[in-house]
Amino acid sequence: MKKAAESDPQRLIRHRAMDLLARREHSAHELQAKLVEKFPEHTPLVGPVLAGLTQDNLQSDQRFAEAYVRALIHRGQGGYRIRQALQQRGIDSSLAEQTIADCGEDWFELAVQVMHKKYGRQPCTSFAERARRSRFLQYRGFSAEQIQACFTDNETDDG
């Protein structure tokens, strides 16, 4: 068996790709990068192997995007940050937008939850504290409107 796999590099590449996909979903871009790194001498064979995996529905960018969006939401990431992460993993921008739109997440509520997890429920007592919390939420990928809502819904205007 081992000798047959070594004599057929395409079969070996497919086997490695399936091993990677068994662990977690991968985008086609990620999978291609990993396979090219593992098998640099067989780079021209990687494309057809990936096409076959996609055709057999073993690799799906849509499935990857859905799973990745759920994972990043669970980690408290906002829409901007998720969009950027999907783009870095080779997901088409239209697929990324559609997946984020279809996730059904209330981004305003998530921003409030993330802020409360980090800072507790204490209101801001100074402009500097509000700016610090705003930068934190911005870094997490929330929009200006979502960040503003965290302060207007949960505080009075005395600070």
Structural domains of the chain, ranges and CATH numbers in brackets = 2-59 (1.10.10), 62-102 (no CATH), 107-152 (1.10.10)
Instruction: Return the ∠ at Cα 95 (arms to 106 and 88), rounded to 5°.
Output: 90
- CA dist 32 and 26 (Å) reads 9
- Cα 84 to Cα 25, 66, 75, 100, distances in angstroms: 18, 15, 15, 12
State mean pLDDT over 68-92: 97
47-56, 59-68, 147-156: the lowest-pLDDT one: 147-156
Per-residue pLDDT tens for 85-117?
A: 999 999 999 999 999 999 999 999 999 999 999
pLDDT over 50 at 68, yes or no: yes
Q: What is the mean pLDDT of the chain?
A: 91
What length does the chain have? 159
The pLDDT of residue 154? 52
State mean pLDDT over 34-55: 95
pLDDT over 50 at 8, yes or no: yes
The pLDDT of residue 159? 39
155 exposure class (CB count in 10 Å sphere: 0-12, 13-18, 19+): middle
- CA dist 66 and 132 (Å) reads 31
pLDDT class of 156 with cuts at 50, 70, 90? very low
pLDDT over 60 at 27, yes or no: yes
pLDDT class of 122 with cuts at 50, 70, 90? confident
Is 80 in contact with 71 (CB distance < 8 Å)? no
State mean pLDDT over 12-39: 96
Is 43 in contact with 83 (CB distance < 8 Å)? no
Longest dimension (CA), the chain: 75
